[in-house]
Amino acid sequence: MAASVRPNELRHLDPAVVARIESLELRARTVVEGFLIGLHRSPFQGFSVEFSEYRQYMPGDDLSTLDWKVYGRSDRFYVKRFEEETNLDCRILLDVSASMAYGSHGVTKHAYAVSLAASLAYLMHRQRDAVGLVAFDDDIATEVPVSGRPGHLRRVLAALDRLETGRRSDVARPLTRLAEALTRPGLVVVVSDLLDEPKSVLRGLRHLRSRGADVIVLHLLDPAERSFPFRRVTRFRDLETGAEVRTLASRVRAPYRQAMDELVAAYERDLRLADVDYHRLDTSKPLDGALQSYLAARARRP
Amino acid sequence: MSFLFPAFLLGAVTIAIPILLHLVRRERGPVVPFSAVRFVRRSPAVRTRRPRLRELLLLLLRVTALLLLTLAFARPFVDDAVPERPITVIAIDRSLSMSAPGQMEEAHRLGAAEVDRVPAGHRVAVVAFDDRAAVVLEPTDDRAAAVAAVESVSATAGSTRYAAALSSASGLMGAEGGRVTVVTDLQAAGWSDGEAAAVPRAATVEAAVVDPVPGNLAVTAAARTADGLSAVVRNTGPEARDALVVLAVDDAVLESRVVTLEPGANGVRLGSALPAGAVASVEVVDPDGYAGDNRRYLLLDPLPPARVLVVANGGRRGSDAYFVDRALAAGAEDAPFAARVTEPGAVSSLDRGEWEAVAAVLLLGTDGLEREGRGRLAAFVAAGGGLVVAAGRGVEPARLAGVLGPDARIDFEPDAGERPRRWVPADRRHPVFRALGEAAASALGEGTFLRAAVAGEGARTRVLGRFDDGTAALVEYDLDAGRALLFASDLNGAGNDFPRRPGFAPFVVEMVRYVARLPGGAREVTIADVPDGVSAVAGAAVLPESGRRLVVNVDPRESDPAPMTVEAFLGRVDPRTAGGAAPDDDSGPERREREQAYWWYALAAMLAVLVGEAWVARAMA
């Protein structure tokens, strides 16, 4: 399933490079086009909906795909690949809680998530899928309904552009509300740092899953959140609550990392059991992993 | 706890610096907005108090280090000295010149009166002295005990030495000073020529005078003559007196007759044929004068020669030992020497018997004196032998290492350049010079010295004579057993003309006699100079080491009751700045602090605290 992207193309997907592009649409296009260029050169092919071709009929081909006009002109059987049109509803659930404002290397998780959401929306639109956006912290902050109409992408991108990090996160609540409002199952992409109680997160995701939606969880983590590189006496101010914890960081590192590893491992294990596609994304790494996860999920759809 | 430099304790205010820094610049740590704070908070290692405690520990260590540094600079010491109060010392003269009838009773009365005069707040101490001083009563507030101590003092046959009394009193008073009352007959002979006694500047010295006897008869000398015995009987009174003079041999009276004694010295010839090997005594009957000086003893048996080993470069063939050999040969007829001149290299070849017969060694050269020879010399001195070193060019200092044992060494540097100088005795009461007599001792200054070694002076050396440039000329080493003298020039005339001077031969003889512990020219010693093992009582005695006989007589100068004035007496008292018995006495806080050296421990503790501080700081980093 893994697609290989060559290093020279990776440059276009580097979060730091992408983040410097002012226009979110251009940012999304850059990411997606760069990603697709990489895909075309890779063995992972067959999802380009605008690509059509003729090839000679081979026994076993669907007869409905024969182009009879060509047969009338040339007396030969050719198979025509039509541009594919879908009605898949894709919803991007973007966590805009205050904890997403953290970034240790020039790119915050929020900026990374916005770029990622924009890229996904762009790619979905290009796939002729209907795209919707839900931004949430402890409740739904912004919602753009699902639509596949032309011009809808711009609404989504404009909504993304306006997003700011908000309050405390409560993943379960907006997920539950969304699940209850879901009338047509589709694809739900959750972009969040999941710094919430795992049980409530799982409960919300299971709720979504129970409504028939395919769920992809893109778990964003800043590299500093994994490695905890602090050493001296440091006052850590909670981005969501404002509470401070003053401690000797070097003493805390080992138990912190252990707790964080346990959290990630718990998500990996429990989400796999809940049939939820889980991807952990390092915000210092390119966005292609997230795009691939969407395409892989898209491929599984009938 | 006291401090030598308490002003440095002001440095303790520097502890305010780390405290202020701690309060003002306490490391609060940078603020880091963070997303996963709940995992930080959840960590069992997060105890925000811990850094705070560590900071407090750091502060404590830094403050402690500063306090310890301050403490070290202030030089602490435990002042265990009892706070001193002034002392009144009553020094009672108990010499022979206080032994006339009624004199000691008068001294007791004066002493008791002085006890009554002791100022309130003063402690009182009692010292009895003749040529030595003894503390009869340590400083006390008990006046009755002081009176009893005064009355316990009785007269001896010793000679008077005021310096001994004042030195002892100064030692009791210390730097704090006090009063010294000397109860004495003010005998003029109690001061040697040029002698003075140092007392603390804060001390006052007074004299309570016991009346001297108006006249005293004493036998001051006795010598054997070809036809009998010649004695000198001194009459210190203003008028001629008839007195009975008795000659006895081994306590048997040979002759007694009444002699008219004119004022001054009177020669008296007694006896005829005197038996050899006996002890003769001449006595003058004087019930009114001092009892102790009425009889004088004389040894009639001839002395065996004392063996002296002269170690000189070249031995007898060389010329280094010539003058010394001649001087020893010319020694007193009744106290001859048998000098054996040998090369330094031959010292080690002397067998045990030969060493036992040696009374003294005169070391004039060290060429070829190897380790074994030095070891033999060291063993000889350690066994009580006498050694005289003439530090001429023939003596190499390095070859004398260990000659006086491992702890003591003969210390001098070779010739300090040629310049003419003379030397004089520094302590004329030393047995060497006392035996010479005033005239001969004065004659020692006639020699001119062009070359002389520089002798080291220290705690265990005593300078007996000095050159006129102040350097030591004759040094005695304070040894446990033997006696050793260093003469800071040669004795062969190479660097001086001393051997050609009249004082040379008697000086060499007396040096050898002293280090060899031989009796004096008449085989007699004064009571003040009795050797170890001989009681300080006039009469015949036997040297316990050699079994040889000698006689002990009183110091003839003590027989002259001629007093001096109180002013003359006090004129010899030398108030010095420093307290105690010696001008350089070091008994104050400096010495206690130096001995205790607590500052060193404070400094070491400070370094340890700094190491701990560095460790804690590193752990916090």
Q: Do B34 and A102 touch (CB under 8 A)?
A: yes
Token representation of residue B513: 């006699």
pLDDT at residue A10, as a whole number: 42
**CB-closest option in A233, A247, A263 to B40:** A247
Q: Do A246 and B29 touch (CB under 8 A)?
A: yes
pLDDT at residue B223, as a whole number: 79
Domain extent at residue A178? 7-41+85-300
Whether residue A2 lies inside any domain: the answer is no
Angle at B98 between CA B441 and CA B125, to 5 degrees: 95
Q: What is the pLDDT of residues A277-291, one digit of tens each?
A: 888 888 888 777 677
Question: For residue A239, which residues of chain B lie inside 8 Å, CB to CB?
Answer: 33-35, 37
Q: Do B36 and A99 touch (CB under 8 A)?
A: yes
Q: Which residue of B has its CA nearest to A100?
A: B35
Q: Is the CB of A248 inside 8 Å of chain B's CB atoms? A: yes
Q: What is the mean pLDDT of residues A138-144?
A: 85
Q: Do B620 and A259 touch (CB under 8 A)?
A: no
Delimit the CATH 3.40.50.880 region(s) of chain B: 306-518
Q: Do A148 and A14 belong to one domain?
A: yes
Give the Cα separation of A87 and A185 in Å (integer).
11
Q: Do B35 and A236 touch (CB under 8 A)?
A: no
Q: Is the CB of A237 inside 8 Å of chain B's CB atoms? A: yes
Domain harbouring A211, CATH code: 3.40.50.410
Q: Which residue of A has its CA nearest to B31?
A: A235
pLDDT at residue B208, as a whole number: 93
**CB-closest option in B32, B39, B47 to A234:** B32
Q: Which residue of B has its CA nearest to A231?
A: B621
| CB atoms inside a 10 Å sphere around CB A296 | 17
Q: Do B48 and A245 touch (CB under 8 A)?
A: yes
Pairing of strands B252-261, B241-249: antiparallel
Whether residue A111 lies inside any domain: the answer is yes
Q: Do B27 and A233 touch (CB under 8 A)?
A: yes
pLDDT at residue B221, as a whole number: 85
* Residue ranges in chain B whose pLDDT is less than 70: 25-28, 43-53, 80-84, 175, 272, 302-303, 331-335, 405-408, 416, 519-522, 546, 576-588, 620-621
Q: Do A78 and A99 belong to one domain?
A: no
Looking at domain B306-518, its CATH superfamily turns out to be Class I glutamine amidotransferase (GATase) domain (3.40.50.880)
Number of H helices, E strands in chain A: 11, 10
Give the Cα separation of B279 and B434 in Å (integer).
24
Q: Is B110 exposed, middle or buried (0-12, 13-18, 19+ CB in 10 A)?
A: buried
Question: For residue A237, which residues of chain B lie inside 8 Å, CB to CB?
Answer: 31-34, 37
Token pair 């309130």 is found at B120
Question: For residue B31, which residues of chain A lie inside 8 Å, CB to CB?
Answer: 234-235, 237, 244
Maximum mean pLDDT: which of A46-55, A163-172, A287-296 = A163-172
Distance from the Cα of A99 to chain B's closest Cα (Å) equals 5
Whether residue A106 lies inside any domain: the answer is yes
Give the Cα separation of B416 and A85 in Å (integer).
122
Q: Is the CB of A225 inside 8 Å of chain B's CB atoms? A: yes
Token representation of residue B69: 């540094």
Q: What is the mean pLDDT of residues A205-229?
A: 88
Q: Which residue of B has its CA nearest to A235?
A: B31
pTM for the complete prediction?
Answer: 0.42
Q: What is the mean pLDDT of residues A119-131?
A: 82
Quick one: residue B539, left, alpha or beta (phi over 0 = left, psi -120 to 50 = alpha)?
Answer: left
Pairing of strands B306-311, B358-363: parallel
Q: What is the pLDDT of residues B98-145, one digit of tens each?
A: 999 999 999 999 999 999 988 888 899 999 999 889 999 999 999 999
Token pair 């290093």 is found at A7
pLDDT at residue B310, as a whole number: 93
Whether residue A46 lies inside any domain: the answer is no
Q: Do A106 and A134 belong to one domain?
A: yes
Q: Do A74 and A152 belong to one domain?
A: no
Q: Which residues pair with B307 in a beta bridge?
A: B338, B358
End-to-end CA distance of chain A: 18
Give the Cα separation of B601 and B77 in Å (integer).
11
Distance from the Cα of B41 to chain A's closest Cα (Å) equals 7
Delimit the CATH 3.40.50.410 region(s) of chain B: 87-212+562-576
Whether residue A1 lies inside any domain: the answer is no
Count of A-B CB contacts under 8 Å: 100
pLDDT at A29 over 90: no
HEC readout, B394-437:
CCCHHHHCCCCCCCCCCCEECCCCCCCECEEECCCCCHHHHHHH
Q: Do A108 and A64 belong to one domain?
A: no
pLDDT at residue B4, as a whole number: 81
Whether residue A203 lies inside any domain: the answer is yes
pLDDT at residue B333, as a whole number: 55
Give the Cα separation of B452 and B441 in Å (integer).
20
Q: Is the CB of A31 inside 8 Å of chain B's CB atoms? A: no
How many domains would you assign to chain A? 2
Q: Do A233 and B37 touch (CB under 8 A)?
A: no
Distance from the Cα of B67 to chain A's closest Cα (Å) equals 28
Q: Do A222 and B35 touch (CB under 8 A)?
A: yes
Q: What is the mean pLDDT of residues A45-73?
A: 66
Angle at B112 between CA B173 and CA B100, to 5 degrees: 105
**CB-closest option in A102, A231, A252 to B33:** A102
**CB-closest option in B28, B35, B45 to A225:** B35
Query: How many residues does the structure list for chain B?
Result: 621
**Mutation target among A99, A193, A244 for the B interface, most CBs of B within 10 A:** A244
Q: Do A150 and A97 belong to one domain?
A: yes
Q: Do A248 and B51 touch (CB under 8 A)?
A: yes
Whether residue A206 lies inside any domain: the answer is yes
Token pair 């350097």 is found at B471
Hey, what CATH topology would domain B217-301+553-559 get? Answer: Immunoglobulin-like (2.60.40)
Q: Do B32 and A248 touch (CB under 8 A)?
A: no
**CB-closest option in B34, B36, B620 to A260:** B36
Q: Do A109 and B35 touch (CB under 8 A)?
A: yes
Token pair 């020879």 is found at B373
Backbone angles phi, psi at A191, to 5 degrees: -110, 110
Delimit the CATH 2.60.40.10 region(s) of chain B: 217-301+553-559
Q: Do A263 and A284 belong to one domain?
A: yes
Q: Is the CB of A239 inside 8 Å of chain B's CB atoms? A: yes
Give the Cα separation of B511 and B556 in Å (integer).
22
Distance from the Cα of A222 to chain B's closest Cα (Å) equals 9
Q: Do A55 and A107 belong to one domain?
A: no
Q: What is the pLDDT of residues A75-111, one digit of tens each?
A: 888 876 654 445 678 889 999 988 888 988 888 999 8
pLDDT at A122 over 70: yes
End-to-end CA distance of chain B: 39
Looking at domain B87-212+562-576, its CATH superfamily turns out to be von Willebrand factor, type A domain (3.40.50.410)
Whether residue A16 lies inside any domain: the answer is yes
**CB-closest option in B32, B39, B47 to A230:** B32
Residues of B in CB contact (< 8 Å) with A are 27-48, 50-51, 54, 620-621
Q: Do A65 and A151 belong to one domain?
A: no
Question: For residue A137, which residues of chain B lie inside 8 Å, CB to CB?
Answer: none
Q: Do A174 and A280 belong to one domain?
A: yes
| CB atoms inside a 10 Å sphere around CB B497 | 13
Distance from the Cα of A145 to chain B's closest Cα (Å) equals 30
Q: Is the CB of A246 inside 8 Å of chain B's CB atoms? A: yes
pLDDT at residue A23, as a whole number: 63
Q: Do A104 and A193 belong to one domain?
A: yes
Q: Do A245 and B41 touch (CB under 8 A)?
A: yes
Q: Do A236 and B28 touch (CB under 8 A)?
A: no
Give yes or no for a contact between A142 and A135, defined as CB atoms under 8 angstroms apart.
yes
Q: Do A259 and A124 belong to one domain?
A: yes
Give the Cα separation of B556 and B526 in Å (integer).
9
Q: Do A195 and B50 touch (CB under 8 A)?
A: no
**CB-closest option in B44, B48, B50 to A255:** B44
Give the Cα separation of B336 and B509 in Å (integer).
10
Give the Cα separation of B291 and B297 in Å (integer).
14
pLDDT at A46 over 60: no
Q: Do A99 and B44 touch (CB under 8 A)?
A: no
ipTM of the complex: 0.72
